[in-house]
Amino acid sequence: MQALITVILPVFLLVGFGYVLVWRKIVSESTVDGTMQFAQQIAIPCLLFNAIAHLDLSTGFDPKLLLSFYTGAIICFTVGFLGARYLFGRSLQDCVAIGVCALFSNTVLLGLPITERAYGTEALAGNYAIIAVHSPFCYAIGITLMELVRAREAGTAMAALPAKVLKAMFSNSLVIGLALGFIVNLSGVNLPEAFQAAVDMLVRSALPTALLALGGILYRYRPEGDIKVILFTCAISLILHPALVFLLGGINELSDAALRSAVMTSAMAPGINVYIFASVYQSAQRVAASSVLLATALSIFSAWFWLSVLP
């Protein structure tokens, strides 16, 4: 109970406050959209840049950590895709979008603050290692398979696929922030003190601002229809993924710190990016939107459970 009160509730109170602000029309949806745009395109990329620039890559990037997390993620994508196809009879494009919902954990807006509050800032090296790979990995799988399905259905050539996938990945502001962080880290450049101070100020605003905006954006994604598919997707994200990562982490003999980062991150709801992906391809939008909302609320309980289980 103590973990729920001191670690989890503050994070979800910020999300809930953002939801109430839009619900009661204290702030407009357009204001929330602008706030989230600031968080996702400026503040959070600065946070990731700063973290990677100062991360000890020799200890943070544990191959066994990434193997445990992303093996679990691939299995969850496969279960989501096959379940959508053979249990619910969805189209192939819908199946890819639902698979992406099962694949794409909210590593930044939920995983980072909950892990930080539970275990401290020094415990985030594993989180940042997962985040550094997360967007490129998930976009590569989702976009590649969706474009393959669309090309197959339309009978078109595949020559443009690699360029399309690379453009989608490397025009993403989070990926750009990560890439710049790696450049600074590997080059050994010392950033000017004034520049570093400005980045630090932006970093402090990133997560609180993003959590508030997330709550406001979730207001528009109220569940409607497709409830069985939505519950199926939430179960994969919140139950199957962390259980697989916990099992694989034990097999791979992860350290306590790495296991905490991997499991807590995998126990988070799908992020807003899954709805953006579904909207771009006009596939399973209702499932994606409602899964984000419902699973975000249920993340309270998945996080609570794993905090009580993890060492």
Give pLDDT tens digits for 162-218. Answer: 776 677 667 778 788 888 998 999 998 889 999 999 999 999 998 899 888 888 888
Residue 57: predicted pLDDT:
74
Band of pLDDT at residue 67, cut at 50, 70 and 90: very high
- Residue 270: helix, strand or coil by DSSP? strand
The torsion angles phi and psi of 12, rounded to 5 degrees, stand at -80, -20
User: What six digits make up the tokens of 84?
Assistant: 């959508």
CA distance 270 to 246: 18
Residue 293: predicted pLDDT:
84
Predicted confidence (pLDDT) per residue in 76-86, tens digit: 999 999 999 99
CA distance 199 to 196: 5
User: What six digits make up the tokens of 144?
Assistant: 């590649």
Phi-psi region of 89 (alpha: psi -120 to 50; beta: other; left: phi over 0): left
CA distance 22 to 165: 35
CA distance 209 to 122: 22
Q: Between residues 221 and 233, which one has the greater pLDDT?
A: 233
Q: Is the pLDDT of residue 1 over 60?
A: no
Under a CB-based contact definition with an 8 Å cutoff, are residues 210 and 109 in contact?
yes
Predicted confidence (pLDDT) per residue in 46-65, tens digit: 988 998 888 877 766 789 99
Surface-to-core class of residue 276, CB atoms within 10 Å of its CB (0-12 exposed, 13-18 middle, 19+ buried): exposed
Residue 4: predicted pLDDT:
63
Total count of domains within the chain: 1
Predicted confidence (pLDDT) per residue in 247-295, tens digit: 999 999 999 999 999 999 999 999 878 887 887 788 988 898 889 888 9
- The pTM of this model reads 0.85
CA distance 72 to 114: 20
Q: For residue 198, what are the domain limits?
A: 2-309
* Mean confidence (pLDDT) of the chain: 88
The mean per-residue pLDDT over the stretch 223-251 comes to: 93
Residue 172: predicted pLDDT:
74
Band of pLDDT at residue 224, cut at 50, 70 and 90: low
Predicted confidence (pLDDT) per residue in 118-135, tens digit: 999 888 999 999 998 898
Other CB atoms within 10 Å distance of the CB of residue 6: 11
Under a CB-based contact definition with an 8 Å cutoff, are residues 80 and 142 in contact?
no
User: What six digits make up the tokens of 231?
Assistant: 């519950």
The mean per-residue pLDDT over the stretch 225-245 comes to: 95
CATH code, domain with 51: 1.20.1530.20
Residue 165: predicted pLDDT:
67
Closest listed residue to residue 239, CA positions, set 231, 248, 251: 231
